[in-house]
Amino acid sequence: MLMDESEKDKVAEEVANGSIPIHQIEKFAPDANEEVEIRRLAVAKVCKIKLGSLASKETDYSLLKGKNAENVIGMVRVPLGVAGPLKVNGAEFIGDALVPMATTEGALIASVSRGMKAINLSGGAISRVIEDGMTRGPVFELNSVVDAQRFVKEWLPKNLDNIKAVAQGTTSHGRLKGIKPKIQGNNVFLRFTYDTGDAMGMNMSTIATEAACRYIEDNFEGISLVAVSGNFCSDKKQSLVNALEGRGKSVVAEAVIGERVLAEVLKTKAAAVNNVNYKKNWIGSATAGALTQFNAHFANSIAAIFLATGQDIAQVVESSSGYTITEVRGNDLYISVTLPSLEIGTVGGGTGLPTQGEALSIMDVFGSGNPPGSNSRKFAEIIAAAVLAGELNLLAALATRDLGKAHSKLGRNKKQ
C-alpha cells in the first residue's frame, strides 16, 4: 500500500464534498489500485452506504485501467458455471466442449446441459460458419440523387482500391472485404465489411472506416459525412441487413435427435417438438412482430456465454437474432439454428481480463488462433451448438409443459 488509510479517506472526503471531481481522483492516487479504492470510498461517502463486496481485492486494477472502463470502483461478480460437455462436429472445432456460462438466472445452465446430453447421445451437433465479417455503415449526404448516383455507380467502383488501401492502412490485422452501397434520396449509406481475424473488430472497423470516409470526402466533391455510423452497420441493433448480409459470424448448427433420445432424455416426441416450434417460433414470432428472432431463447445462451468470455454485452442484441427450424424425419427430429450475426472475438475487448480469459481457455480458444481467425471461428461453432442445445431443451420442455417446474425446483419459491 502506497498511501495510508487516512490519506485516502481525506481525498475521498474531498470528492464527496465536491472539491475534487470524481473523474480526477487519478491525479491524487499513487496507482490504479489505490485510485479504485479511493473512488469507492468516495462513492460510499456520497451515497452513505458501505461498498465492501465490490472491492474485489483479488483484482489488479492496473490491468484494465484506461482500457476496459472508466471511473472504476470495483468489480461486479457473476456466477460462472459450465454446461456440457457438448460434442461439436465443426469444420474447425471437433471434440467435446465444456461451455462456460455466466448468469444469475437459475435453471439456465442445467437446462442447456440437458439439451447437450440429448445432442451427444444423437452423435453431436454439426456446426458451420457460413459467413464472416465485421461491418461499419457510415451515412453521407449530397446535394442531389444525381450526385449520389454518380458517386455510387461511377466514382466508388473506380476508387475501391484506393479506399481499401486507406482503410487497411489503419490496421495491421483488418482487411476490407467489400462495400455495399445504398442510395436513399440524396443520401448514401455504405456498409464496409472487414475481415478482423480473431478480434470482434468493431473498433478496428470504425477506425478504418473513418479513414476511408476522410478519403472519400477529400476526393469526391460535394459529399459530406453525416456520421461514421449511420445505423446501416447495424451495431447493437437488430436489423434485416444484419440478418440478410451477416455481421460477425453467420453460423448454423444442427442435429438429428433420435426417437429414443427424445423419449428418454427429453420425455417427448418429434411431432410435439415440431408443433411447438412451428406455433411458437414461427407463427408466434410473426404474430408478435418479431423481425429477426424466430427462435425460443437464443438470447439466454448468447448472453451467458458472452458474459463469461468478455464479449461486448451490448451485442447480445443482434447476436441473438436467428431462426430455429425443425423437421419431423420419420420418428426422429431434425433441428437447426441459424445465427446470422454472432459478433465475437477471442482477442481484444474484455477477452483479456483474467476471469474471462480463463473462460475462453476452457474451450481452448483464448487469444489468437493459428491460423489467425480460427479461434474465433471455433468459438462460433461451439456457441451455435450450445444455442442449439438450449433451443432443443426448451422446445421439449414446453412440449411437456415443464417450464415453470424447472424454475420452481431450482431455488425459487412458488409464491413470490
Q: How far is the CB of 161 from a second copy (least distance, A)?
A: 21
- Judged by CB under 8 A, the chain residues 83 through 122 that form the site for a second copy are 83, 85, 98, 100-110, 113
341 forms part of the interface with a second copy (CB under 8 A): no
Let me know if 312 is a catalytic residue: yes
Axis-axis angle for helices 374-399, 298-309 (nearest 10): 140
19 forms part of the interface with a second copy (CB under 8 A): no
Is the Cβ of residue 119 or residue 148 nearer to a second copy in the bound state?
A: 148
Is the Cβ of residue 6 or residue 376 nearer to a second copy in the bound state?
A: 376
Q: Cα(338)–Cα(15) distance, rounded to whole angstroms?
A: 51
Residue 96 grid cell: 467435446
Question: Of 13, 31, 105, 195, which one is the catalytic site residue?
Answer: 105
Return the H-helix or E-strand segment holding 127: strand 125-136
Let me know if 407 is a catalytic residue: yes
Binding piece for a second copy, criterion CB under 8 A, among 3-11, 257-265, 319-327, 373-381: 319-327
Q: How far is the CB of 162 from a second copy (least distance, A)?
A: 20
- Judged by CB under 8 A, the chain residues 362 through 401 that form the site for a second copy are 362, 364, 398-399, 401
Is the Cβ of residue 260 or residue 409 nearer to a second copy in the bound state?
A: 409
Find the binder of a second copy among 81, 95, 222, 372 (CB under 8 A): 81
Is the Cβ of residue 6 or residue 173 nearer to a second copy in the bound state?
A: 173
- Judged by CB under 8 A, the chain residues 273 through 292 that form the site for a second copy are 275-276, 278-292
294 forms part of the interface with a second copy (CB under 8 A): yes
Q: Cα(105)–Cα(81) distance, rounded to whole angstroms?
A: 11
Q: Which residue has the cell 472502463?
A: 69
Q: Cα(185)–Cα(179) distance, rounded to whole angstroms?
A: 19
The half-sphere exposure of 235 on its side-chain side, counting CA atoms within 13 A, is 20
- CB neighbourhood size of 370 (10 A): 9
Is the Cβ of residue 17 or residue 53 nearer to a second copy in the bound state?
A: 53
Question: What's CA 301's distance to the chain center, in Å?
Answer: 11
Is the Cβ of residue 7 or residue 181 nearer to a second copy in the bound state?
A: 181
Q: Cα(306)–Cα(359) distance, rounded to whole angstroms?
A: 10
Q: Which residue has the cell 468478455?
A: 310
Let me know if 161 is a catalytic residue: no
Question: Of 35, 312, 318, 381, which one is the catalytic site residue?
Answer: 312
Q: Which of 203, 211, 213, 208 is nearest to 235 (CA)?
A: 203
Return the H-helix or E-strand segment holding 116: helix 108-121
167 forms part of the interface with a second copy (CB under 8 A): no
- Judged by CB under 8 A, the chain residues 52 through 71 that form the site for a second copy are 52-59, 61, 64-71
In one letter, which amino acid is 169? G
Q: How far is the CB of 10 from a second copy (least distance, A)?
A: 20
- DSSP code at position 137: -
User: Active-site positions?
Assistant: 105, 312, 407
